[in-house]
Amino acid sequence: MESIKKLSSSRNSRSRAHSGFTLIEVLLVLVILVVLGAIVVPMVTGIGESANIKAATIQVAALERAIDNYKFGTKQYPTSMEDLADKPSDAKLAKNWAGPYIKTNKDLIDPWDNDYKYDAKGKKNQGSYDIWSMGPDGQDGTADDIGNWKSDS
């Protein structure tokens, strides 16, 4: 009987010793999680950046419509983007102003929290106007600028 008790207690002590995770097992799981994170994070941030670029493209198009509506009513392009939200102080312009053409001046901020740029005498659109976002890098005049002169192709 005593040998049965010893055998039983021996099994219990062995099962208790193997019931937890070893340091190697825990480190292996951590390494797997880090590798998965290194794969997933760039994919997720790429999707976010792509969404911001699409949002800026849509916002540039919406601002184009607002500028065109302003010109239709006042017979001239706005001198600044703020003219789309605020009634002009010039009496002649104010008489024909049918705005606001945008809801608030917050609509003049791109997805990267930079102001949209506007040039009433268009350098890229001769005889018209230029409106653009400086894009993800926040630098004006770089390849990632998003403007009304770029095609979708």
pLDDT tens per residue across span 15-53: 555 577 788 888 888 888 888 888 777 766 667 788 899
What pTM, to 2 d.p., does this model score? Answer: 0.66
Is 13 part of any domain? Answer: no
- What strands lie across the sheet with 130-133, from one edge to the other? 117-119, 130-133, 146-147
Structural domain span for residue 119? 45-153
List, for residues 99-142, the tens digit of each pLDDT value.
888 888 788 889 999 999 999 888 888 888 999 999 998 888 88
Does 85 reside within a domain? Answer: yes
What CATH number has the domain bearing residue 93? 3.30.700.10
Q: What is the count of structural domains for the chain?
A: 1
* Residue 29 domain-assigned (yes or no): no
**Closest listed residue to residue 101, CA positions, set 62, 128, 58, 132:** 62
By the 10 Å C-beta count (0-12 exposed, 13-18 middle, 19+ buried), 135 is classed as buried
